[in-house]
């Protein structure tokens, strides 16, 4: 046996001369700022190719689908293959409008942040089909446990835009009383669970909600969303394990938009396999979907929702998409990725693709689309003006002071009563005329 010797370079290990030194692999994205982008390495299967097993199939049967990609809209903007949901034109137009409204809302709120009306905003540009397609495929009373980039679900479900803006401006009409960072909505009546800043925590919570629904013999299901970056959190594993063990009626979704702030998907494990492929290791059905193809998104979520409702248990869906804009208003993507990535993204833009499909069907036109864009922009403008009358961040119109201490507990304990009195005293010291 060779006598181990301490390494001279201070690494502390005993190196054997007859073996190559070990190497740490640190993933590196293909393109950095200024690089020419070439997506030829991406395997984009043709639309219509992926088979559609029955919703009640064993989870293992979905294994090939976790490596493939479900796509419905082809190069000629036709809907083809077994996953074509064959939705009527009216529904397609409604969903197109929801996507356009979501994008218009994002654009205006982004500007609002730049104008100082609020502190923070996050767009979902390029990912609108995921929220809107999923919302359409679910029942309105199924509970969604969203991440911070599913605003399209609230919009699809008809949540008032003005309430969204009130929340973003933290004004006196903010349903969350100015307590939450902008976009961390909560809308129980719309089946939209309170958003948390802590990533992936909502994943096991959705499973718990689904378990509760099963315990009570209900028919409602739960669904939750994480980004591919957050799928690295331990909560993801907890959720998958619990969902599998209890056969929970839940649909767990990974929105793979390639980027977690500045970290490309390789840091969540994308170099080795797909995110959908993780499903079958847990005994869960898995689907991988073109996330910019609204029809594919709808069809996959519908399949998974029907499966859950049939007591066949959970599904994990990966939506392959691209985060077309910065992570948030606090982020500059030009500092870490090529500006050409978004424009050359091979799966295109979800709104353009559905628009072209409707035009191809003879159910839409460029003129109608342009008119709709003006309409939704106006709709957002009206809502924004209405919300601004309730105040913008920093302009003093907010909920009464005492509300800061409420809802920590159901009732205010003595120490919070004392602290509330202190806060009001401090206020009066600064502004003697001040009244709550």
Partner 1 sequence: MNMIEAINDALDIMMTRDPNVVILGEDVGYFGGVFRATAGLQKKHGRNRVFDSPINECGIIGAAVGMAAYGLRPVPEIQFADYIYPGLDQLVSEAARMRYRSAGEFTSSITIRSPFGGGIFGGQTHSQSPEAMFTHVAGLKTVIPATPHDAKGLLIAAIEDNDPVIFFEPKRIYNGPFDGYYDKPSRTWKGQPGGLVPQGYYCTPLGKARIVREGSAMTVLAYGTMIHVAEAVLAEKGVDAEIIDLRTLVPLDIETVEKSVEKTGRCLVIHEATRTSGFGAELSALVQERCFYHLEAPVERVTGFDTPYPHSLEWAYFPGPVRIGEAVDRLLKD
Per CB under 8 A, the list member of 67, 80, 212, 261 interacting with partner 1 is 212
Report residue 228 as tokens. Answer: 């591919």
Q: Which of 243, 226, 235, 147 is nearest to 192 (CA)?
A: 147
Taking the least distance from each CB to partner 1, the nearer of 156 and 167 is 167
From residue 232 to residue 261, the character string flagging contacts with partner 1 as x (rule: CB under 8 A) and all else as - is --xx-xxx-xx--x----------------
Taking the least distance from each CB to partner 1, the nearer of 80 and 238 is 238
Number of residues that bind partner 1 (CB under 8 A): 46
Are 180 and 403 spatial neighbours (Cβ–Cβ below 8 Å)? Answer: no
> Which H or E run contains 251?
strand 250-256
In the complex, least distance from residue 131 CB atom to partner 1, rounded to whole angstroms:
20
- 267 is a site residue for partner 1 (CB under 8 A): no
- 207 is a site residue for partner 1 (CB under 8 A): yes
Q: Which of 322, 206, 321, 318 is nearest to 254 (CA)?
A: 318
Per CB under 8 A, the list member of 77, 84, 194, 360 interacting with partner 1 is 194
Taking the least distance from each CB to partner 1, the nearer of 58 and 234 is 234
Q: In what order do the strands lie in the sheet with 315-320?
A: 143-145, 222-227, 250-256, 315-320, 285-290
Residues 144-163 that bind partner 1 (CB under 8 A): 145
Report residue 337 as tokens. Answer: 């990725």
DSSP string, 271-323: TTS-STTHHHHTT-EEEEEETT-HHHHHHHHHHHHHHHHTT---EEEEEE---
- 175 is a site residue for partner 1 (CB under 8 A): yes
Q: Could you tell me which residues come within 8 angstroms of residue 78 by beta carbon, excluding any fewer than 6 positions away?
A: 357, 360
Taking the least distance from each CB to partner 1, the nearer of 156 and 202 is 202
Are 146 and 193 spatial neighbours (Cβ–Cβ below 8 Å)? Answer: yes
Taking the least distance from each CB to partner 1, the nearer of 264 and 405 is 405
Binding segment (CB under 8 A) for partner 1, from list 10-18, 23-31, 202-210, 321-329: 202-210
CA distance 227 to 206: 15
- 53 is a site residue for partner 1 (CB under 8 A): no
Identify any residues that bridge with 320 across adjacent strands, giving them in sequence order.
Answer: 256, 290
Per CB under 8 A, the list member of 186, 247, 262, 360 interacting with partner 1 is 186
CA distance 424 to 231: 43
Binding segment (CB under 8 A) for partner 1, from list 54-62, 71-79, 176-184, 333-341: 176-184
CA distance 196 to 148: 8
Taking the least distance from each CB to partner 1, the nearer of 366 and 418 is 418
- 328 is a site residue for partner 1 (CB under 8 A): no
In the complex, least distance from residue 119 CB atom to partner 1, rounded to whole angstroms:
16
Taking the least distance from each CB to partner 1, the nearer of 187 and 347 is 187
CA distance 303 to 260: 28
Residues 382-421 that bind partner 1 (CB under 8 A): 407-410, 413-415
Binding residues vs partner 1 (CB under 8 A): 143, 145, 175-177, 179-180, 184, 186-188, 193-194, 196-198, 201, 203-213, 215-216, 222, 234-235, 237-239, 241-242, 245, 407-410, 413-415
């Amino acid at each position: 046996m060779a006598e181990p010797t301490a390494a001279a370079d201070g690494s502390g290990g005993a190196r054997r001369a007859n073996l190559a030194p070990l190497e740490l692999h640190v993933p590196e994205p293909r393109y950095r700022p200024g690089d020419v982008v070439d997506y030829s390495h991406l395997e984009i299967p043709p639309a219509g190719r992926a088979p559609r097993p029955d919703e009640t199939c064993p989870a293992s049967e979905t294994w090939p689908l976790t490596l493939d990609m479900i796509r419905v809209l082809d190069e000629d903007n036709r809907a083809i293959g077994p996953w074509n949901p064959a939705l009527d034109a009216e529904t397609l137009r409604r969903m197109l409008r929801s996507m356009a409204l979501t994008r218009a809302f994002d654009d205006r709120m982004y500007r609002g942040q730049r104008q100082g009306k609020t502190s923070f905003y996050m767009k979902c540009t390029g990912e609108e089909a995921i929220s809107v397609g999923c919302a359409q495929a679910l029942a309105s009373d199924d509970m969604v446990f969203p991440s911070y980039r599913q605003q399209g679900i609230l919009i699809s479900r008809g949540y008032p835009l003005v309430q969204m803006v009130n929340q973003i401006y933290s004004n006196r009409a903010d349903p969350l009383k100015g307590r939450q960072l902008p976009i961390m909505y909560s809308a129980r009546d719309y089946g939209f669970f309170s958003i948390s800043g802590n990533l992936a925590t909502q994943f096991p919570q959705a499973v718990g909600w689904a378990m509760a629904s099963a315990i009570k013999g209900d028919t409602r299901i739960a669904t939750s969303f994480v980004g591919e970056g957050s799928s690295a959190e331990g909560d993801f594993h907890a959720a998958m394990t619990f969902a599998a063990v209890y056969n929970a009626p839940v649909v767990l979704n990974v929105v793979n938009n390639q980027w977690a702030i500045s970290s490309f998907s390789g840091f969540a494990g994308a170099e080795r396999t797909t995110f959908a492929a993780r499903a079958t290791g847990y005994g869960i059905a898995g689907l991988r979907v073109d996330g910019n193809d609204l029809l594919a998104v709808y069809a996959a979520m519908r399949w998974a929702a029907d499966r859950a409702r049939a007591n066949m248990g959970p599904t994990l869906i990966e939506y392959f998409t691209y985060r077309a804009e910065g992570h948030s208003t606090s982020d500059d993507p030009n500092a870490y990725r090529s500006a050409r990535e978004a424009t050359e993204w091979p799966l295109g833009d979800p709104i353009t693709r559905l628009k072209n499909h409707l035009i191809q069907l003879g159910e839409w036109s460029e003129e109608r689309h342009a008119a709709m864009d003006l309409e939704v922009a106006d709709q957002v403008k009206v809502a924004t003006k209405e919300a601004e009358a309730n105040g913008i961040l920093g302009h003093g119109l907010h909920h009464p002071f005492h509300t800061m201490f409420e809802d920590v507990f159901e009732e205010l304990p003595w120490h919070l009563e004392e602290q509330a009195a202190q806060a009001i005293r401090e206020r009066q010291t600064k502004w003697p005329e001040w009244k709550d």
